[in-house]
Chain A
Amino acid sequence: MSAGPLSGVRIADFTWIGAGSYTTKLLADFGADVIKIETSRHMDTLRSTGPFKDGIAGINRSGYFADRNTSKRSININLKHPAGMEIGRRLVACSDIVANNFRPGVMDRLGFGYESLKLEYPKLIYLAMSMQGAAGPHAEYVGFGLTIGALTGLHNLCGPKDCAPVGTGTNYPDHVPNPTHAAFAVLAALHFRNRTGRGQYIDLAQTEPTVALQGTAMIDYTVNRRIAERCGNDHPNAVPHGVYPCRGEDRWIAIAAHDDVQWAGLAAALELAPETTLKWSQALIRNAARDEISNWLVSVTRERDAYELMQLLQTHGVPSGVVQNARDLIKSDPQLAHRRHWQTLEHPEMGATLYNGLPIHLSRTPGKLSRPAPLLGQHTEEVCIDLLGFTRAQYIQFEEEGAFE
């Protein structure tokens, strides 16, 4: 097993909160040496966002922060202090990648803007992930995953037809579209650098990956002038296609039939009367009978156990899945267990706590969560002395001067 495809790659990580931290975490899990530059004066707000170990708040107790910052080292430095600045400079000098998700201009004011670094470090890959990109009329605008979902049109397309739009209920762009696109961009830039020896500037606006994921709706508008609307759980061709109640509190199952074969399987599994099965055997007719079919399904799913029903439907070749919650995923999902998705790491303050494993399984260079999330400034000393070459005396002097506050 190799040390990870990114072993030998170092990242000076100025990212914080959601999308940025998760991008560099992905790279850290695959072997990059990611050094998270933090400052206790302006802390990563995820450190103070729950859930917390045992429900007790603390800067080293957030599970939200922990899951987004595995395999990294943390240094706590004040970049406005001359020694802090020098530490930052030396770190950048030995890094392949500098990453941030600040508003445009913040890194320039800190003294780490791309323009000032690129002449000295032409091989540097510089990832900037502001909300709306480096320049333009709204470049200064601020937001979070939920407002990005709103701005990019996704929020409006989610929810029942007869209700206000409801979105994904999460800061979705922060969790998947932005970190995965940013990681892909960085890896593509590494590939390009391997070939040409040149670094570059990556400008990822945190709106644009989520826009790209809605290409179909966008083209339907630009070519057909149709404005897509939210449609509950409907699907244009598949009937049924929905979520139906099962026995127990807040238990549901998703069921779909995309063709006549799947429909026949569904009807057989649920013992629909032969004449009704036949009546609805064709997709066009089912399309016209959406509500009737939905009512029938609700009447038969309601008293059943969701997992038993899923198993029954699966034996009849019907796409079906229980609406699982976190407890189901962690405690009982046999497939995630088979893939060893849930991992327990021993954190210095939180103790043995649960982390998401890597969802992509590389057979030869699998990557791993090599350490739990760092305590704030846990690695300041070792990074300063072992990596950046300051002497112990210098380190102590910096500490006395307040460079680590």
Chain B
Amino acid sequence: MSSKAVVPLPCALEGVRVLDLSRRYGYYTGKLFADMGADVILIEPPGGCELRSEGPFMLDRKDKQGSIPFNFFNTSKRGVTLDLDTSEGLARLHKLAARADLVIEDAMPGSQARYGFDYASLAAIRPELVVTSITAFGQTGPYANDCANDLTLLAMGGFLNMMGYPERAPTQTYGEQAVAIGCMFAGVGAMLALLAAQTERRGQHVDVSIQECVTMATENASQAFDLEGRVRSRFGDIQRHAGTGAFACSDGYIYLFAGGMGAARFWVNLVRWLRDENVVGSEILTEPEWRNPPYLDTPEAKNIFNQIFPLFCANKSKAYLYHEGQRRNVPLCPINNVADVINNEQLRYRNMFVNVWHDCIGQNVLMPGAPFKMSESPGRISRRAPELGEHNVELFGSVAGEHA
């Protein structure tokens, strides 16, 4: 039985067949399926999708294969080219759809019919098929055909208003999070529809509006308005509560979360720490009003805390504050940069980063692997992102998939 030991565990979504027609938004949804073992075929136009020309590029090589976002968001997928403006291209798409379980597409609402991949056309070919459409505002409605990008969707979904400094223009988050938010929810929707299709032998259309998904990121802002008539906005780098906020230290910043209702049980640990280190002025924090979370929301409390904690932090490193704070059960984390994250001991221990060989630059590329661990059916990056038309021969029997 020794040979059995080397057989890798099966992936959770092995056998699920996905067509990924992403042009602007949907790539991460396809990646979620691909890295969990689904057979995902990325279908690009003959010249390649636009993501291939988005930087940064590996070793700054600005060719069709070098785009970092393209390579990251299309891991574990196969790739073909199809010209959907031709009847041959469309016929090939329909042939693939006849064997697929899920189609992911993000075309402007209403334009799919022109290309023959609207839900009605695809369902006619295969009733079990799930079609997941990821668009800025959803398939119908007054804004359905509006022009958008990640920044405008953060704005329209109410998230941008909460980011940045008060009195200044709000600032975006990194990494096209509006699009990512849409893709994450789309993955859940697609998976739900696939489970339903398996038991009921019928597919359906999953309509995802990125704007609507972004509203889910606004924390408790909608309830604050409904219940208390309060409009939440952004608060910059000031403390949310005394004891919760970003503070400068000797080599950067840390984020402390020891004040406020949710963190009430940690407050005493913080105070004990400051007392143990004989921090000047910290004796006041042992007064009874500091155990009362509403007091921590007062300007007075924030002001007093701000005269004590920053001085303590100023000459200590991120690493010291992180490990000593955590040793004392204080929710404190460094505000890490990318290098800190890549070198993080815990992420390394868990093998969060994996090497994927990229022949175009002749080296391994270290990148985030599966975002969660499954004991019986672990995710994995099974191959690098496809070269343009790499699997045309495999899937269509000819190199020029779009012409033959």
Asked whether A192 and B345 contact (CB < 8 A) given A26-B188, A212-B368, A217-B175, the answer is no
Using a CB-CB cutoff of 8 Å, which residues 339-355 of chain A contact chain B? Answer: 339, 341-342, 350, 353-354
B181 adjacent to chain A (CB < 8 Å): yes
Q: Taking the nearest CB of chain B, how far is it from the CB of A167, in angstroms?
A: 8
**Contact A215 B371, beta carbon cutoff 8 Å:** no
A388 adjacent to chain B (CB < 8 Å): no
Minimal Cβ-Cβ distance residue in B for A200: B376
A252 to B168, CA, bound (A): 10
Asked whether A150 and B186 contact (CB < 8 A) given A213-B180, A339-B212, the answer is no
A198 adjacent to chain B (CB < 8 Å): yes
**Contact A182 B372, beta carbon cutoff 8 Å:** yes
Stretch at the interface among B89-97, B200-208, B283-291, B392-400: B200-208
Q: Taking the nearest CB of chain A, how far is it from the CB of B28, in angstroms?
A: 8
Asked whether A363 and B185 contact (CB < 8 A) given A152-B341, A188-B374, A219-B72, the answer is no
B295 adjacent to chain A (CB < 8 Å): no
**Contact B188 A360, beta carbon cutoff 8 Å:** yes
**Contact A361 B206, beta carbon cutoff 8 Å:** yes
A364 to B255, CA, bound (A): 44
A125 to B222, CA, bound (A): 33
- Residues 30-72 of chain B: 1 if any A CB is under 8 Å from the residue's CB, otherwise 0? 0010001000000000000000001110111000000011011
Q: Taking the nearest CB of chain A, how far is it from the CB of B127, in angstroms?
A: 11
**Contact A236 B55, beta carbon cutoff 8 Å:** yes
Using a CB-CB cutoff of 8 Å, which residues 160-218 of chain A contact chain B? Answer: 160, 163-172, 175-177, 180-185, 187-192, 194-196, 198-205, 207-209, 211-218
Stretch at the interface among A71-79, A277-285, A324-332: A324-332
**Contact A336 B212, beta carbon cutoff 8 Å:** yes
- Residues 83-122 of chain A: 1 if any B CB is under 8 Å from the residue's CB, otherwise 0? 0000000000000000000000000000000000000000
Q: Which residues of B contact A274 (CB under 8 A)?
A: none
B76 adjacent to chain A (CB < 8 Å): no
**Contact A341 B215, beta carbon cutoff 8 Å:** yes
B388 adjacent to chain A (CB < 8 Å): no
Q: Which residues of B contact A176 (CB under 8 A)?
A: 181, 184-185, 213, 216-217
A146 to B333, CA, bound (A): 9
**Contact A166 B187, beta carbon cutoff 8 Å:** no
- The CB with the most chain B CB atoms within 10 A, among A171, A201, A254, A334, is that of A254
- Residues 216-237 of chain B: 1 if any A CB is under 8 Å from the residue's CB, otherwise 0? 1111111111111011111111
A70 adjacent to chain B (CB < 8 Å): no
Q: Which residues of B contact A209 (CB under 8 A)?
A: 184, 371-372
Q: Which residues of A contact B213 (CB under 8 A)?
A: 176, 359-360
**Contact A133 B350, beta carbon cutoff 8 Å:** yes
Q: Taking the nearest CB of chain B, how far is it from the CB of A237, in angstroms?
A: 8
Q: Main SS of chain A's interface residues?
A: mixed
Q: Main SS of chain B's interface residues?
A: mixed
**Contact B347 A208, beta carbon cutoff 8 Å:** yes
A146 to B257, CA, bound (A): 8
B159 adjacent to chain A (CB < 8 Å): yes
**Contact B172 A360, beta carbon cutoff 8 Å:** no
A319 to B363, CA, bound (A): 38
- Residues 12-43 of chain B: 1 if any A CB is under 8 Å from the residue's CB, otherwise 0? 11011000000000001000100010000000
**Contact A321 B335, beta carbon cutoff 8 Å:** no
Stretch at the interface among B110-118, B135-143, B272-280: B135-143
A224 to B57, CA, bound (A): 8
- Residues 142-178 of chain B: 1 if any A CB is under 8 Å from the residue's CB, otherwise 0? 1110111101111111111111110011111111010
Q: Which residues of A contact B168 (CB under 8 A)?
A: 160
Asked whether A359 and B209 contact (CB < 8 A) given A217-B338, A258-B149, A326-B222, the answer is yes
A-B contact count (CB 8 A): 530
Q: Which residues of B contact A293 (CB under 8 A)?
A: none
Minimal Cβ-Cβ distance residue in A for B224: A51
A66 adjacent to chain B (CB < 8 Å): yes
B268 adjacent to chain A (CB < 8 Å): no
Asked whether A168 and B261 contact (CB < 8 A) given A188-B13, A356-B215, A362-B204, the answer is no
B346 adjacent to chain A (CB < 8 Å): yes
**Contact A30 B147, beta carbon cutoff 8 Å:** no
Q: Which of A55, A208, A237, A359 contacts B227 (CB 8 A)?
A: A55
A36 adjacent to chain B (CB < 8 Å): no
**Contact B142 A335, beta carbon cutoff 8 Å:** yes
Asked whether A168 and B206 contact (CB < 8 A) given A67-B223, A334-B141, A338-B141, the answer is no
A262 to B154, CA, bound (A): 19
A287 adjacent to chain B (CB < 8 Å): no
Q: Which of B58, B174, B192, B217 contacts A362 (CB 8 A)?
A: B192
Using a CB-CB cutoff of 8 Å, which residues 112-128 of chain B contact chain A? Answer: 119
B340 adjacent to chain A (CB < 8 Å): yes
Asked whether A45 and B141 contact (CB < 8 A) given A323-B160, A354-B222, A365-B196, the answer is no
A305 adjacent to chain B (CB < 8 Å): no
Q: Which residues of B contact A184 (CB under 8 A)?
A: 32, 184, 187-188, 191
B367 adjacent to chain A (CB < 8 Å): yes
Asked whether A361 and B156 contact (CB < 8 A) given A203-B372, A205-B350, A218-B342, the answer is no
- The CB with the most chain B CB atoms within 10 A, among A5, A67, A203, A232, is that of A5
Q: Which residues of B contact A34 (CB under 8 A)?
A: none
Task: Pull 14 A–B residue pairs with CB atoms less than 8 Å apart, ordered by A.
Answer: A136-B346, A138-B326, A150-B254, A156-B337, A159-B165, A184-B32, A195-B15, A203-B372, A209-B371, A321-B153, A330-B225, A335-B137, A354-B226, A364-B203
- Beyond A200-B376, A204-B372, list 12 extra A-B contacts (CB 8 Å): A6-B195, A160-B164, A164-B246, A172-B173, A180-B187, A208-B350, A243-B170, A321-B148, A329-B215, A335-B141, A353-B226, A353-B227
